[in-house]
C-alpha cells in the first residue's frame, strides 16, 4: 500500500458524516426559535473546524503509516517506527515494527536452515540431481556440477548424460513408475562405473512429477571383482610354469639326483631363478592392484620430475654399466612441478628406463629428455579439467625415454600396455620381465590425467613418452599451504 492508494474523498465523506448530526441538532433548535441563527452558525463553524483539524491529523498519520508500511515491505533490515501525532497511530506503528522484527528473525532462521541444507547437499560426495517432468535439471549439488559441468542446471538431462538406460529409467519413474536402479559407465577422463538410483520426488516449486537422481561410484567394487577374476586367470597361468619347474626339480632332487652334487647345484640355481620370477610376479600384481584401486582419484601433491628422473637414473647406473649402456639426461632446469605422487612417478620412470636398458643394444645410449609442450591430443588434460573446480592445464611436461634397441613392430604397439602381453615372451622371461611393467605405467599415468605415447621403428629403437599436466597456480598454492 502507498499514500496514493488512500483517497482523500473518503476522509471528506467521514467529515460529512461527523458534521451531519451537529447540523441536524442546531437546525432543530433554530426552527422553533430556541436558538439564535447566528449562534447556531458560529457553533457549526467551530465544530467544522475541529473536525477538519482531527481529519487532517488522521490523514497525516495515515500517510505516515502507509509510507512506513511501504518501507518495511521493501527493506531488507529493521526499519524504526516513525513519529505520529495520535496515540492510535503510534500503537499501529509499534505493532508493525514488532511484526517486522519477528518476521526478520524467522526469515533469518529460515535462511540459515536453507543454507545449512544446501551446504549439506553440496558436501555430499555422490552427485545428486533433481529432474522435473520435462527431464530438465532443476537442481544439482556440487559433485554433480563438477562431474558434468556448471551449466547443466536448467538444461535437459540428456545434454549431460547420454546413457540410454538411465534416460529410460528417468522417463519410467516420471511416468509414474516405481524407483529404479541402473548401472552406467562414464568413459572419460578415466573409466568409472556408477550406480544410478532414480526415485519419485515431490516439491512445491516444481510443477508436475519430478525425480531425484543420485549417482554412486561403484568403480572400486567393480574393479575389485574384475581384478579378482584377472588375478585368478593371469596369475594361475603365469605361475604355472615356474611352479611346475620347481615341483619337477624338487622331485628330482628327492629321487634320482639325491646324491648328485653337480645336478643339485645346477637345479638349485634354476629353482632360485624361478622363485625370484614368482616373487617379482606377485609383487607386480600387488602393485598393479593398489594402483588400479586409486586410479580414479587424482593425486593432490606436487612432484618435481627433474629430481625424480635424476634419482632414478642414479639408481640404475650400475645396471646400465653392466650392459655397457650409457644413461643421458637431456632437458632444461627449473621446470615447473606437476600435480602427482612422487613414489608412483618414480615407479613409472624406473620401469621405462629399466626396460630401455634391458631391451636396448649393448654399447649404446639411453636418453631421458624433459621438455615443456602443449597438451597431448587425446589426453585428459586436453579434454577436461584436471580436478573439479580447477582450471585446465595449459602446458604439459614431456618426459621421453629413448633406446637404440631392435625396435618394435607397429602391430604390437597398441597392445604393449596390456597385462602379460609380450612381443617376445621367451626373451622377456629370460630377462626377468613379468609382462606387467607397462600396464603399471599406464594406470599410474591415467591416475595423473596424463598420456603415454609409444613410437618405435624396427632396427632403430623405441621412444616411450610420458605427458603430464603442469600444476596450475591454484594447485601449487593449495599444496604449499597444506605443507605449512
Number of CB atoms found within 10 A of residue 15's CB = 15
Please tell me the predicted confidence (pLDDT) of residue 7. 55
SS3 296: coil
| List of domains in the chain | 3-119 (no CATH), 124-217 (3.30.450.20), 220-295 (1.10.287.130), 298-483 (3.30.565.10)
pLDDT block averages, 10 residues each, the chain of length 484: 53 68 74 75 76 72 75 74 73 78 80 77 86 89 86 87 89 89 82 89 73 89 74 70 80 80 82 80 78 78 88 89 89 84 89 86 87 62 36 73 87 81 65 73 88 88 91 75 67
Please tell me the predicted confidence (pLDDT) of residue 234. 66
Q: Residue 22 contacts by C-beta under 8 Å, 6 or more apart in sequence?
A: 43, 44, 47
Q: Which residues pair with 462 in a beta bridge?
A: 456
Please tell me the predicted confidence (pLDDT) of residue 389. 37
Please tell me the predicted confidence (pLDDT) of residue 392. 45
Distance CA 137, CA 126 (A): 16
Please tell me the predicted confidence (pLDDT) of residue 431. 57
**Predicted model pTM:** 0.49
CB-based contacts of 202-209 (< 8 A; 24+ apart in sequence): 203/130, 206/130, 206/132, 206/133, 206/138, 207/132, 207/133, 208/132, 208/133, 209/133, 209/174, 209/176
Please tell me the predicted confidence (pLDDT) of residue 394. 61
Please tell me the predicted confidence (pLDDT) of residue 464. 92
Amino acid at each position: 500500500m502507498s499514500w496514493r492508494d488512500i483517497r482523500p474523498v473518503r476522509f471528506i465523506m467521514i467529515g460529512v458524516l461527523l458534521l451531519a448530526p451537529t447540523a441536524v441538532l442546531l437546525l432543530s433548535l433554530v426552527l422553533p426559535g430556541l436558538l439564535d441563527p447566528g449562534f447556531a452558525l458560529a457553533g457549526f463553524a467551530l465544530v467544522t473546524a475541529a473536525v477538519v483539524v482531527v481529519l487532517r491529523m488522521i490523514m497525516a498519520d495515515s500517510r505516515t503509516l502507509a509510507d512506513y508500511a511501504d518501507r518495511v515491505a521493501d527493506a531488507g533490515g529493521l526499519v524504526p517506527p516513525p513519529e505520529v501525532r495520535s496515540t492510535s497511530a503510534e500503537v499501529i506503528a509499534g505493532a508493525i515494527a514488532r511484526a517486522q522484527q519477528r518476521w526478520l528473525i524467522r526469515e533469518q532462521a529460515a535462511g540459515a536452515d536453507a543454507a545449512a541444507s544446501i551446504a549439506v547437499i553440496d558436501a555430499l560426495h555422490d552427485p545428486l540431481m533433481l529432474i522435473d517432468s520435462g527431464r530438465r535439471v532443476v537442481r544439482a549439488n556440487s559433485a554433480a556440477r563438477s562431474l558434468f559441468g556448471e551449466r547443466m542446471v536448467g538444461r535437459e538431462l540428456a545434454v549431460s548424460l547420454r546413457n540410454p538406460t538411465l534416460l529410460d529409467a528417468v522417463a519410467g519413474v516420471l511416468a509414474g513408475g516405481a524407483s529404479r536402479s541402473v548401472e552406467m559407465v562414464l568413459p572419460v577422463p578415466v573409466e568409472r562405473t556408477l550406480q544410478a538410483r532414480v526415485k519419485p520426488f515431490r516439491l512445491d516449486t516444481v510443477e508436475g512429477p519430478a525425480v531425484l537422481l543420485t549417482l554412486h561410484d561403484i568403480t572400486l567394487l567393480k574393479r575389485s571383482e574384475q581384478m579378482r577374476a584377472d588375478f585368478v586367470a593371469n596369475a594361475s597361468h603365469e605361475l604355472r610354469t615356474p611352479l611346475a619347474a620347481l615341483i619337477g626339480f624338487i622331485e628330482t632332487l628327492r629321487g634320482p639326483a639325491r646324491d648328485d652334487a653337480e645336478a643339485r647345484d645346477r637345479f638349485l640355481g634354476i629353482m632360485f631363478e624361478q622363485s625370484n620370477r614368482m616373487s617379482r610376479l606377485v609383487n607386480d600384481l600387488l602393485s598393479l592392484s593398489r594402483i588400479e584401486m586409486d586410479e580414479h582419484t587424482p593425486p593432490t601433491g606436487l612432484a618435481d620430475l627433474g629430481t625424480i628422473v635424476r634419482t632414478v637414473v642414479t639408481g640404475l647406473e650400475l645396471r646400465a654399466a653392466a650392459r655397457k649402456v650409457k644413461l643421458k639426461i637431456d632437458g632444461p632446469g627449473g621446470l615447473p612441478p606437476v600435480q602427482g605422487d612422487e613414489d608412483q612417478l618414480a615407479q613409472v620412470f624406473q620401469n621405462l628406463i629399466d626396460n630401455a636398458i634391458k631391451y636396448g643394444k649393448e654399447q649404446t645410449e639411453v636418453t631421458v629428455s624433459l621438455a615443456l609442450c602443449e597438451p597431448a591430443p587425446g589426453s585428459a588434460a586436453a579434454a577436461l579439467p584436471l580436478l573439479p573446480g580447477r582450471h585446465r592445464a595449459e602446458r604439459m611436461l614431456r618426459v621421453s625415454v629413448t633406446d637404440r634397441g631392435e625396435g618394435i613392430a607397429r602391430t604390437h604397439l597398441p597392445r604393449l600396455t596390456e597385462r602379460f602381453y609380450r612381443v617376445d615372451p621367451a626373451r622377456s622371461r629370460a630377462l626377468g620381465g613379468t609382462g606387467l611393467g607397462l600396464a603399471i605405467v599406464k594406470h599410474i599415468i591415467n591416475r595423473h590425467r596424463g598420456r603415454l605415447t609409444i613410437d618405435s621403428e624396427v632396427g632403430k629403437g623405441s621412444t616411450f613418452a610420458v605427458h603430464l599436466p603442469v600444476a596450475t597456480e591454484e594447485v601449487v598454492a593449495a599444496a604449499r599451504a597444506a605443507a605449512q
